[in-house]
Structure 1
Amino acid sequence: MCERAELLRALDELLQPERFKDYGPNGLQVEGQAQVGKLVSGVTASRALIEAAIAVGADAIFVHHGLFWRGQDGCVTGWMKQRLALLLAHDINLFAYHLPLDAHPTLGNNAQLALQLGLVAQSQFGEQALGCLGQRADGQSFASPQDLAAHIEQALGRAVTLVGEQHKTLRKIAWCSGGAQSYFEAAIEAGADAFITGELSEPQAHYARECGVAYLACGHHATERYGAPAVAAHVAAQLGLVHEFIDIDNPA
């Protein structure tokens, strides 16, 4: 067991949210009971995750995508009311960290995605230096974009959308988890042969075809499944908490 404030302090010290300009509040988003014994981690604070956390007796939930975002109207109705009602009725704390969780150099989404794919980062690029540029950990190249796509599909267990150059050896690989379409141009400027992210928007398909850099959209959820449990497990071990990762499947 630990105090809620102690858990918040440990997460803040690890993830350093003050370093980031973000799209919503990082840290404790919903206050629950003061004592925490079991911590559940997940990608998004969906109703399904909250219900699953209640079922396993969680005192706190740690996620990448929290409840509150810039631009919301502030009304507690519909899905927001349903999620908040569950958290408040069961006195569960909700902790959410967005960009700080993407960026942590060893436990974050980008670092953990690289671990899953056998990549090693050598530099960062893009806004707030969230994008990573590197190569295969074994020093080899991918024979083609199709070779890289097949490798990712096997590692992440889902189909990949590949656009762009089809017959090119890939040595410099760029990646940024989630919805990082806007980082593609910065990846091209950084010298990447291929860019890995979660989603594909209309303009990036044209950039990929015209610039000769392969674009691989691998799923927003699929590329961000690894940071939350890595951070939560680390902090749980530090504070003597029970931790459980609950993966709520999402096709996006």
Structure 2
Amino acid sequence: MSIDRHELLARLDALLQPQAFKDYGPNGLQVEGRARVARIVSGVTASRALIDAAIDAGADTILVHHGLFWRGMDGRVTGWMKERLKRLLAHDINLLAYHLPLDAHPELGNNAQLGQRLGWQWDARFGEQDLGFAAPCDIASAQELGRHVGQVLGRTPLVVAPEGAPRPIRRVAWCTGGAQDWFEAAIAAGADAFITGEISEPQAHLARETGVAFIAAGHHATERYGAPAVAAHVAAQLGLEHQFIDIDNPA
């Protein structure tokens, strides 16, 4: 079964509400391919490896969290950008990208999906555009929380624990990807620990000094779940085929 591309875009826009977000790049259709769509490949980033894998899978549409175009980019089509676009255009593949809207969806987004896998049901949102999630939990220490996160995500996170004796984690906050600058907002929201993908230099000091643990679990590792959840949901509604392809990334 195939449908018109505009029907797919309308369904995604209705679900993710991209117009409600101030984002770093365009959400929705980034590269126009064929008008009729039947097979979606979802992934985290519109890398050349993902595009090649989608071509091999016979996809006519790729849905990702990290698209090709970002605010402040050099607008020239050369090098790696040329290679990615060349493949998409040669095979007439639609590239759809949703960034912050895909983080924020309360059930299918990256944050909601990560929380589900870690065993938490969020009960509060915080930070700019309400992208941060928080939930109650009952874990003995930051180290134990780090072990739990590592087991679920399949990679060992970096854990920065507060100074002094281990303290229990009764409330956890998280925001997937590169949300290390949201640590202070998580602290203000009452978290005992904050989980995101990356860490920068200041967060280690803040964790030690504020008594709130910081866990950097990997940008890619924390954002593997939203795109396939959204694509599977919409594909099931519209009678389309869907396949998630995970291109490994150590970041």
Class of the TM-score when normalised by the shorter of the 2 chains: over 0.9
Structure 1, residues 23-58: CA drift from partner, whole Å, max 9, x if none?
000000000000001000000000000000000100
Q: Distance in 2 between matches of 1:135 and 1:219?
A: 22
| Sequence identity (%) | 70
Q: Distance in 1 between matches of 2:50 and 2:134?
A: 33
1:104-183 alignment to 2 at 5 Å? 104-136=105-137, 141-165=138-162, 167-183=166-182
* Pairs aligned (count): 248
Corresponding residue for residue 26 of structure 1: 27
Structure 1, residues 147-196: CA drift from partner, whole Å, max 9, x if none?
10010111000011001226010011000000001110000011100000
Corresponding residue for residue 244 of structure 2: 245
Corresponding residue for residue 53 of structure 1: 54
1:41 aligns to what SS in structure 2? Answer: strand
Q: Distance in 1 between matches of 2:198 and 2:134?
A: 18
TM-score normalized by the length of structure 2 = 0.98
Report the Cα offset of residue 73 of structure 1: 1.3
Corresponding residue for residue 11 of structure 1: 12
**Considering only aligned residues, what root-mean-square deviation do their CA atoms show, in Å?**
0.7
Listed as ranges, the gaps of 5+ residues in structure 1 are: none
Structure 1, residues 84-110: CA drift from partner, whole Å, max 9, x if none?
000000000000000000000000000
Q: Distance in 1 between matches of 2:197 and 2:167?
A: 22
2:29 aligns to what SS in structure 1? Answer: strand
Q: Distance in 1 between matches of 2:145 and 2:122?
A: 16
1:186 aligns to what SS in structure 2? Answer: helix
Q: Is the 8 A contact 2:143 2:161 kept in 1?
A: no
TM-score normalized by the length of structure 1 = 0.97
Corresponding residue for residue 73 of structure 1: 74
Letter in 1 for 2:23: D
Structure 1 residue ranges, 4+ long, deviating more than 2 angstroms after superposition: none
Corresponding residue for residue 211 of structure 2: 212
Report the Cα offset of residue 135 of structure 1: 1.8
Q: Distance in 2 between matches of 1:19 and 1:65?
A: 18
1:165-204 alignment to 2 at 5 Å? 165=162, 167-204=166-203
